[in-house]
């Protein structure tokens, strides 16, 4: 299952490290090429000989190993070599180093320079795990796109019982397989995504806009590409890059331009996800010249309604098309989102909460609830990349049921 995959396994100094011996053996058995990096403290719990034997590779523990004739372990190369870096167990100490960008051992320096995706499985005593600092540090990692495999409840090395156990090796392997498995679940499917804000011009230099960064929409596009889809991404003005042979990106500025781009291609799509924060109104008149300041006089800007792109597509939707809208509500959230589901003829609404820290515009994380005519599924705070994974998991599940 993991044939040809390069996995960099980081092991830090906690009692759960003994389970990483099994993890190393299983990953190697599944066909992965495993290189293990251990911190100096981890050597008190597991020996390099065991890990080198099971992984089939020398264990890496220092920048310049003794007896290597001055040859150094290139942490930059390690991060480039890996398809995935997994740190299991992750102690509170190494977590704080990762969160603050330290680079004083080979493992944390490799993390800091790694360009591959990173997954961590924290393990510590319950009070350490419950400490606000630990939460802040884990949230920081999530913000940086790290997948955190939350610690589990159970008995701990201290004799106490609570949340802090590293996830079992089988669960970590499942998460790794899910992350790396070449999934083609959306092969030959066409997915249309709208992303970012719209800018509605007042004059050649000014516009009415909003703070949408486009991060959620781009994360959805990335995940659709990962699942093998042909993706059309209609993006408002954003600072986000995405390049892929199966991606057709259409950059627009205004709601009317977005409407035109969507109208052009919505008919041929299988799944449509509207994550753009489209301005509901635009200035009625756009001045050809920069509007001048007239002392003592404040101009009044008359607005007109923009087309509701999602509603238009809902009205023209074919039975086999799956239509997803986003909703940002501030009160009676679920009730209002349900109304929108009906009014716009949607199959699913992704409800964004403005009331949760770390969720919404400009953040790298989001906290959403999936609403369909039958279900309300609340998802905890996650990175936008992980939310995108959940969105397609939900879509594929609903598609399979229909
Ligand atoms: O009705 P409301 O604006 O809250 O709906 C939000 C959803 O509708 C989002 O999915 C957004 O992308 C879409 N929308 C749209 N065109 C508009 C306004 C919103 O496609 N003019």
Please give the distance, rounded to the nearest whole angstrom, from the Cα atom of residue 379 to the centre of ligand 1: 21
**Residue 393 CB contacts under 8 Å (≥ 6 apart), including other chains:** none
Tens digit of each residue's pLDDT (9 = 90 or more) over 228-271: 999 999 999 999 888 888 999 999 999 999 999 999 999 999 99
Tens digit of each residue's pLDDT (9 = 90 or more) over 76-128: 899 999 999 999 999 999 999 999 999 999 999 999 999 899 999 999 999 99
Whether the per-residue pLDDT at 70 is higher than 90: the answer is: no
Q: Show the tokens assigned to 181.
A: 């498995």
Q: What is the atom index within ligand 1 of the atom nearest the CA of 307?
A: 21
Please give the distance, rounded to the nearest whole angstrom, from the Cα atom of residue 307 to the centre of ligand 1: 9
Question: Measured from the CB, is residue 309 less than 6 Å from ligand 1?
Answer: yes
Compute and round to an integer the Cα radius of gyration of the chain.
Answer: 25
In testing the pocket of ligand 1, which one of 274, 323, 344 has its CB within 8 Å of the most ligand atoms? 274
Please give the distance, rounded to the nearest whole angstrom, from the Cα atom of residue 333 to the centre of ligand 1: 15
**Residue 373 CB contacts under 8 Å (≥ 6 apart), including other chains:** 341
d(CA 83, CA 4): 10
Ranges for all domains in the chain classified under CATH 3.40.50.10300: 190-288+296-401
Q: What is the pLDDT of residue 361?
A: 66
Whether the per-residue pLDDT at 357 is higher than 90: the answer is: no
Three-state SS for 14-56 is CCCHHHHHHHHHHHHHCCCEEEEEECHHHHHCCCHHHHHHHHC
Ranges for all domains in the chain classified under CATH 3.40.50.1950: 6-179
Question: Measured from the CB, is residue 192 less than 6 Å from ligand 1?
Answer: no
Q: What is the pLDDT of residue 302?
A: 97
Question: Measured from the CB, is residue 308 less than 6 Å from ligand 1?
Answer: yes
Three-state DSSP at 97 gives helix
211-225, 246-260, 276-290, 346-360: segment of lowest average pLDDT:
346-360
Q: What is the pLDDT of residue 360?
A: 65
Element (H, E) at 121: strand 118-122
Tens digit of each residue's pLDDT (9 = 90 or more) over 18-56: 999 999 999 999 999 999 999 999 999 999 999 999 999
Question: Measured from the CB, is residue 322 less than 6 Å from ligand 1?
Answer: no
Question: Measured from the CB, is residue 258 less than 6 Å from ligand 1?
Answer: no
Q: What is the pLDDT of residue 358?
A: 65
Helix axes 106-113, 92-100, angle to 10 degrees: 40
Q: What is the atom index within ligand 1 of the atom nearest the CA of 325?
A: 10
Please give the distance, rounded to the nearest whole angstrom, from the Cα atom of residue 287 to the centre of ligand 1: 27
What mean pLDDT comes out for the span 119-144? Answer: 94
Q: Indicate the CATH number for domain 6-179.
A: 3.40.50.1950
Share of the chain above pLDDT 70, in %: 97
Question: Measured from the CB, is residue 310 less than 6 Å from ligand 1?
Answer: yes
Residue nearest to atom 19 of ligand 1 (CA): 278
Whether the per-residue pLDDT at 359 is higher than 70: the answer is: no
d(CA 282, CA 334): 28
Q: What is the pLDDT of residue 342?
A: 96
What mean pLDDT comes out for the span 340-358? Answer: 87
Question: Measured from the CB, is residue 220 less than 6 Å from ligand 1?
Answer: no
Domain 190-288+296-401, CATH among 3.40.50.10300, 3.10.20.30, 3.40.50.920, 3.40.50.720: 3.40.50.10300
Residue nearest to atom 13 of ligand 1 (CA): 310
Tens digit of each residue's pLDDT (9 = 90 or more) over 156-175: 988 888 999 999 999 999 89
Active-site residue list: 210
Question: Measured from the CB, is residue 314 less than 6 Å from ligand 1?
Answer: no
46 or 68, greater pLDDT: 46
69 or 119, greater pLDDT: 119
Q: What is the pLDDT of residue 398?
A: 86
Please give the distance, rounded to the nearest whole angstrom, from the Cα atom of residue 249 to the centre of ligand 1: 20
248-262, 318-332, 351-365, 385-399: segment of lowest average pLDDT:
351-365
Whether the per-residue pLDDT at 188 is higher than 70: the answer is: yes
Please give the distance, rounded to the nearest whole angstrom, from the Cα atom of residue 256 to the centre of ligand 1: 13
- H-only helix segments in 117-168: 126-130, 132-143
d(CA 150, CA 138): 9
Per-chain mean pLDDT for the chain: 93
Q: What is the atom index within ligand 1 of the atom nearest the CA of 280?
A: 21
Q: What is the pLDDT of residue 58?
A: 94
Question: Measured from the CB, is residue 306 less than 6 Å from ligand 1?
Answer: yes
Please give the distance, rounded to the nearest whole angstrom, from the Cα atom of residue 339 to the centre of ligand 1: 13
Cβ–Cβ under 8 Å, residues 384 and 365? yes
């Amino acid at each position: 299952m993991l044939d040809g995959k390069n996995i960099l396994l980081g092991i830090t100094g906690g009692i759960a490290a003994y389970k990483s011996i099994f993890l190393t053996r299983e990953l190697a058995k599944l066909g992965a090429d495993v290189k293990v990096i251990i911190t100096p403290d981890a050597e008190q719990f597991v020996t390099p000989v065991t890990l080198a034997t099971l992984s089939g590779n020398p264990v890496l523990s220092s920048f310049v190993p003794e007896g290597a004739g001055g040859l150094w372990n290139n942490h930059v190369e390690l991060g480039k070599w890996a398809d995935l870096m997994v740190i299991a167990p992750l102690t509170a100490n190494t977590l704080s180093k990762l969160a603050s960008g330290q680079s004083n051992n080979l493992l944390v320096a490799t993390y800091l320079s790694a360009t591959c995706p990173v997954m961590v499985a924290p393990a510590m005593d319950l009070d350490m795990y419950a400490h606000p600092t630990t939460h802040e540090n884990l949230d920081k990692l999530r913000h940086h796109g790290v997948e955190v495999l939350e610690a589990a409840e159970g008995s701990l090395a201290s004799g106490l019982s609570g949340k802090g156990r590293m996830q079992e090796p089988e669960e970590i392997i499942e998460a790794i397989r899910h992350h790396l498995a070449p999934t083609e679940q959306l092969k030959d499917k066409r997915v249309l995504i709208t992303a970012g804000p719209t800018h509605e011009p007042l004059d050649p230099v000014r516009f009415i806009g909003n703070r949408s960064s486009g991060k959620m929409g781009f994360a959805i596009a990335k995940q659709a590409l990962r699942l093998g889809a042909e993706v059309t991404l209609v993006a408002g003005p954003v600072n986000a890059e995405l390049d892929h042979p199966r991606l057709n990106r259409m950059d627009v500025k205004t709601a009317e331009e977005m409407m035109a781009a969507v109208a052009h291609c919505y008919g041929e799509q299988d799944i449509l996800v509207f994550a753009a924060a489209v301005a509901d109104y635009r200035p009625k008149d756009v001045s050809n010249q920069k509007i001048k300041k007239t002392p003592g006089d404040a101009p009044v800007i008359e607005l007109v309604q923009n087309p509701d792109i999602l509603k238009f597509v809902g009205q023209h939707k074919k039975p086999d098309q799956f239509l997803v809208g986003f909703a940002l509500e501030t009160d009676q959230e679920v009730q209002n989102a349900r109304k929108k589901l009906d009014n716009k003829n949607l199959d699913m609404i992704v409800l964004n909460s403005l009331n949760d820290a770390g969720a919404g515009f400009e953040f790298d994380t989001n906290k959403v609830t999936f609403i369909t005519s039958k279900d309300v599924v609340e998802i905890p705070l996650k990175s936008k990349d992980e939310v995108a994974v959940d969105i397609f998991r939900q879509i594929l599940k609903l598609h399979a049921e229909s």
